[in-house]
Structure 1
């Protein structure tokens, strides 16, 4: 019995001693240690990974087995091991893998410190070199760029397609591509391709781009919306610390401050064309931060970006945006220069929410780069010359060119667009999209009606007002455009109207002329500076709901002409001539009369004036080649300088005066802190003029927010002939609310506002206006001025709404201590107010 017990104890002891303990190191063929290599015992749950030095330690109850050592990009090694195996030196051989391998990596649950994260060492090298690599390392360069922009309807089911193709469904369905989900379908409706030659001179920081060829197909002619949506994808420069997208500043994944925004995971390294590439995944630290999610491949040695895939994180709510993704590829040349080879941008837009079952709009932009030629300079004068597109058909090429060159989009896509653009249902859908975007209804007869948001209004003079606007529109590049309106007031029972025509005299240089006629009511106290607008369009007469009573309206009978000359892109000089007859629209409450040189009261104002203006908007994205152009929603400064001269005598002009005004607006991106939108304006009037020609500080008695106006002033609260004003709005873009646990789920964004005005009025102008009474015999305006700075400040919440429809904004506004003179105003001036703003997404 005892020997059996002793034998059993020996067996137990031997089994315990039989546990397998393995140590070792994994290196590549160049004896470089490989971190994060998978080391496991086959057919067991025992495994580990190597540390930063490529070392591993593995202990298991097994006493023999097959050790498997694997790493993406290397050949897998299998080694028979047993109790006698003590220390292993394992060499992995590289194999040729493709970058497109599908790998799913999740955000790490525990955030590593910088020095503990192996990705940090690699990114530090990227930061050091990112401004020293690429085309900046050569003195001169040239290449060819081929761009394709495709817009289509996505997430379509067979029922929808059958309603389009009907009897031809079985034949046409063979041309229709599947959507990204591989289940539903996608139909292209618009396609534009162009080929451009690019020449760069780094010694003088000059880039010349010459369009070589262009072609367009589809339903893009009804309006500018497809152009605007296409231009959502401007060049996304990942090498800048911050990337501007949809007027918001996103932190680049290779920003030198990226670790404050992103979590990084070094997943693996692979080999492509005998070059080792590190694969790093990145995730926003906080949901809702303006950041991307994706991965990038970084070349070993020179630490340049070989390829990057990234998308806007789903937690970020952008109006009408369901998804945005970006992909960039680079060629690493001579171990020191990276050259872009391909960019691919993809946007998915929906009207209501991000639900994957909803139909939406897809925008695809693909750019390929080829024929690089480095350090072959051309004459210096060559780089300063430019071949600009000035006519819509200027660079159209015949089919022979495109057959030889080839197109990015396949021939089947063009054929499908030619088919579907004739379908009534597709026309209705694209027409609806254009209507929502620009407010005009297309009749198909060369005339559009709108905008629909000015159809109804209300004020004390006209009562309920209805307005029908229209414009001619054949294509977005019309050389001639006419627009006008007819309005009717149900209280004064009078029709008002206006008509304006503009014509592009010359494409190069770009010269446009305009002529307008108006007989309507205007709120002259709602804007300070206007240059090219010939017809009055003040919000004071277009608002449906207003605070208090407003009788400070003027009847304006005007003829105006405009001449505009483009010196260069975004730099314009112009000249206006205006003849206006102005009188009060409500003499019983508001008088525009003045005292003449003999002290007699005059009610007839005839303003004969000329304006010379200079407008400069560097960096503004401009599209459209017709007389009416559109501007992208990118970040750019604006500077406007205007000089007006009033003439007494010619054409019965009643006043001689000089007026100079300026405005400077500068949006400032502050990285993750958001966007500061700053405006400064000022002006001075020389000469004696009536109230209708002075400068009221722009007030706003509507319940909506209007840019560069004061929400807690009444019209004509402040009347000046010398003024200065500033308007500051800081949009935090989620920087604050995303850090508050309960609020971050609501996807709201905060903002701060500050507005101030300072001004004065001369004794001479006060003398001819002060004391003028209305028909009721009461003092009209006492000409109070903001001689002590008047200001308003507020806090707001924006991005309010549901799903993708988040264009509402609510501000709480306070003002400085200000007491209007007794008897000079009809309405009390509020000290606090809540105002609502609406801001479209694209």
Structure 2
């Protein structure tokens, strides 16, 4: 059909499953006998299921296949339950995005599943022609399919295929229990189509259901069920609208934009949904439900809710140790009422028991306009930082480096800087996933302890200076085509889909205004691209490049990001010390391929461990001008003080590794272990820190499906 339109009704429901009568009695107490009449059974028909969130959306869809344009106008939207308070529930409610079984690969939970309709299906599935029937004078074949190997990212189920045109009448599939996917006890998909005139087939219904558990996939454990149902009705075919009509889009910009009166929903809602809303109203304030969902959110986000509209966290950075501060404690917070908060204030207070100094920082963000989307931010900090832990930073106003938040590190970390900073940000959304922004910052930077680490340099008058005052502006452009964005507050939420990222940043430093000590220009570029390679896994690749124009000290240059902790940190080099390489022009690449069990799932016995293999390659190349080297050359080191050698990777430096991930028990498989080697590299003479190793074992901790 050249043109079409239809009405699309979408329902997303989240609930607690596998509940027994004892839990329900504790939950409802005196209301138990009434509630038990309303509560539904699980799909197994044995235990009970209690909904805690429901979202409904009604939309009108218009398509122009000649010009490949689709316009979707939301007509009404309604939600009720605990979702507004929880980041993890946001992620879960968006589990099923763009599930297109007609593509070779289905990107689900950031994993590439092979579609049973794939052109490469015979390498993954076995097929069985089970039956054939005649329905409305059309012959249909029932074909069963199932994975050839347990643990592969594939489905089992059956499909009804129409004769002659091979169109799909009905498809039902699910993942096998043995699949190498954490937290997922079950995934089920149903799709139905209507075949017209032997040449047209249109969707009529999509039904998705996911069952998530926490500790393991034992059938007796309680879990979370996500249900998404889409119905397609009121089709009108080949009734074209004006061509400009299809180019227009109506964007949702406010949380209440599609709120409709109760009479509207009374007319369109099913009786089942009406009873679900009533039940959610009854359970959402129950203490047991709030405690359970609060625990899930705390584990997922690291923040703990309070009754004051403030969250405490993140918990993961509460304790650390380093050479300057000794044992460091940190208490962080952020205001949080819903994911759509227009204003957000966050901050922290930290204390070091060795230097006995109090550090702090705060950041305020406000959404000035929904359309065009304009956000502003203002931040102040007086804290220590590990400068050079990242090459490119655009919207992050406060320093959040890992170097001063780690509990265990290789050698002593002398290289921390004392940073007093005030910064502002202005971010303008040109269109979805395309942003331009401006930052202004004023920073006073010095060594956190001159007794261990010197950042001194020679100024233009030949005098030795130990502090840099940096007054600078940034103009950046970010482009993330295809990124799934949700939430309408000042902090956006991002789905787990696969998308590329392009960032260009121009930074200008000013000498004179606000006591700025240096004038310089810096331009930086970053491109990252996760590449789905079907059953072979996913390649996560990124390339960064940059150049600084002007003569500046180390605090304003581009050190190659090192990592002296024993944990893995993305886009850093684990076998370098901080400031081993300092550049004013650089090119770096990071390539990490995750096989997602493609290799280890085929090895008998070993496949029962559900391990996944990966390989990485990281490289950096750069240079530093004689002018930038000269302002540090000739400075003598005091005894016991480490002074930076301006050493650049003129000969490409690289690291490569092999690793195992998904290590753990049950669903708790957070560990990853990498064995890392490096290229031939001799550290600068006179280094006071531990020599950089030529080989190391490093551990990563990351919850992953």
TM-score, normalized by length of structure 1?
Answer: 0.83
The CA deviation at 1:377 is 1.5
C-alpha contact 1:518 1:559 (8 A) present in aligned 2: yes
Equivalent residue for 2:628, pick from 761, 765, 770:
765
Closer, same or farther: CA 688–280 of 1 in aligned 2, 3 Å: same
Greater mean alpha carbon deviation, residues 182-191 or residues 330-339: 330-339
Equivalent residue runs for 1:327-476 within 5 Å: 327-407=190-270, 409-476=272-339
Partner of 2:471: 608
Secondary structure in 1 aligned to 2:239?
coil
- 1:131-168 per-residue CA deviation (whole Å, 9 max, x = no partner) reads xxxxxxx2222111111000000000000000011011
1: distance between equivalents of 2:530 and 2:640? 47
1: distance between equivalents of 2:620 and 2:2? 50
Secondary structure in 1 aligned to 2:403?
helix
2: distance between equivalents of 1:191 and 1:347? 15
The CA deviation at 1:579 is 0.3
The CA deviation at 1:796 is 0.7
- 1:733-785 per-residue CA deviation (whole Å, 9 max, x = no partner) reads 11111121132121111111000000000000000023434543756122111
Does 1:183 pair with 2:31?
no
The CA deviation at 1:381 is 1.2
Equivalent residue runs for 1:559-638 within 5 Å: 559-638=422-501
Equivalent residue for 2:589, pick from 704, 711, 726:
726
C-alpha contact 1:526 1:699 (8 A) present in aligned 2: yes
The CA deviation at 1:271 is 3.0
The CA deviation at 1:185 is 0.3
Secondary structure in 2 aligned to 1:162?
helix
Equivalent residue runs for 1:806-817 within 5 Å: 806-817=669-680
- 1:327-361 per-residue CA deviation (whole Å, 9 max, x = no partner) reads 11111111111111111110100101110000001
Partner of 2:689: 826
Equivalent residue for 2:385, pick from 508, 522, 528:
522
Equivalent residue for 1:310, pick from 160, 173, 176:
173
C-alpha contact 1:440 1:450 (8 A) present in aligned 2: yes
Secondary structure in 1 aligned to 2:519?
strand
Partner of 1:286: 149
2: distance between equivalents of 1:253 and 1:140? 29
Partner of 2:662: 799
Does 1:786 pair with 2:649?
yes
1: distance between equivalents of 2:524 and 2:28? 59
1: distance between equivalents of 2:560 and 2:272? 54
Closer, same or farther: CA 774–398 of 1 in aligned 2, 3 Å: farther
2: distance between equivalents of 1:180 and 1:570? 39
Closer, same or farther: CA 802–253 of 1 in aligned 2, 3 Å: same
The CA deviation at 1:225 is 1.6
C-alpha contact 1:620 1:634 (8 A) present in aligned 2: yes
C-alpha contact 2:319 2:328 (8 A) present in aligned 1: yes
C-alpha contact 2:580 2:684 (8 A) present in aligned 1: no
C-alpha contact 1:144 1:196 (8 A) present in aligned 2: yes
Partner of 2:416: 553
1: distance between equivalents of 2:606 and 2:356? 51
2: distance between equivalents of 1:463 and 1:307? 64
C-alpha contact 2:153 2:180 (8 A) present in aligned 1: no
The CA deviation at 1:424 is 1.2
The CA deviation at 1:236 is 1.1
Closer, same or farther: CA 412–427 of 1 in aligned 2, 3 Å: same
The CA deviation at 1:223 is 2.5
Partner of 1:673: 536
1: distance between equivalents of 2:473 and 2:602? 54
C-alpha contact 2:562 2:575 (8 A) present in aligned 1: yes
Closer, same or farther: CA 723–392 of 1 in aligned 2, 3 Å: same
C-alpha contact 1:781 1:825 (8 A) present in aligned 2: no
C-alpha contact 1:589 1:775 (8 A) present in aligned 2: no
Segments of 5+ residues of structure 2 without an aligned counterpart are none
2: distance between equivalents of 1:579 and 1:298? 66
Equivalent residue for 1:641, pick from 495, 500, 504:
504
Equivalent residue runs for 1:181-330 within 5 Å: 181-330=44-193
C-alpha contact 1:642 1:662 (8 A) present in aligned 2: yes
Partner of 1:113: none
2: distance between equivalents of 1:840 and 1:197? 38
Equivalent residue runs for 1:686-705 within 5 Å: 686-705=549-568
The CA deviation at 1:406 is 2.4
Closer, same or farther: CA 549–290 of 1 in aligned 2, 3 Å: same
C-alpha contact 1:771 1:781 (8 A) present in aligned 2: no
Greater mean alpha carbon deviation, residues 432-441 or residues 481-490: 432-441
2: distance between equivalents of 1:276 and 1:544? 67
1: distance between equivalents of 2:633 and 2:366? 43
1: distance between equivalents of 2:633 and 2:205? 68
Partner of 1:735: 598
- 1:801-822 per-residue CA deviation (whole Å, 9 max, x = no partner) reads 1111222211110000001121
Equivalent residue for 2:10, pick from 137, 140, 147:
147
Partner of 1:657: 520
- 1:668-723 per-residue CA deviation (whole Å, 9 max, x = no partner) reads 01111111110000100000111111100000111111110001011001000000
Does 1:498 pair with 2:367?
no
The CA deviation at 1:652 is 0.3
Secondary structure in 1 aligned to 2:673?
strand
Does 1:509 pair with 2:354?
no
TM-score, normalized by length of structure 2?
Answer: 0.99
Partner of 2:698: 835
Q: What is the number of residues matched between the two proteins?
A: 705
Equivalent residue runs for 1:75-114 within 5 Å: none
2: distance between equivalents of 1:253 and 1:147? 25
The CA deviation at 1:222 is 1.4
Segments of 5+ residues of structure 1 without an aligned counterpart are 1-137
Closer, same or farther: CA 531–492 of 1 in aligned 2, 3 Å: same
Secondary structure in 1 aligned to 2:348?
strand
The CA deviation at 1:408 is 8.1
C-alpha contact 2:345 2:365 (8 A) present in aligned 1: yes
- 1:198-227 per-residue CA deviation (whole Å, 9 max, x = no partner) reads 111222212111111000011112122211
Secondary structure in 2 aligned to 1:541?
coil
1: distance between equivalents of 2:360 and 2:160? 62
Secondary structure in 2 aligned to 1:741?
coil
- 1:785-835 per-residue CA deviation (whole Å, 9 max, x = no partner) reads 100000000001111111112222111100000011210342200101111
The CA deviation at 1:193 is 0.5
2: distance between equivalents of 1:635 and 1:628? 20
Secondary structure in 2 aligned to 1:301?
coil
C-alpha contact 1:489 1:495 (8 A) present in aligned 2: yes
- 1:559-590 per-residue CA deviation (whole Å, 9 max, x = no partner) reads 00000000001000000000000000021121
Partner of 1:76: none
Secondary structure in 1 aligned to 2:631?
helix
The CA deviation at 1:470 is 0.1
C-alpha contact 1:591 1:773 (8 A) present in aligned 2: no
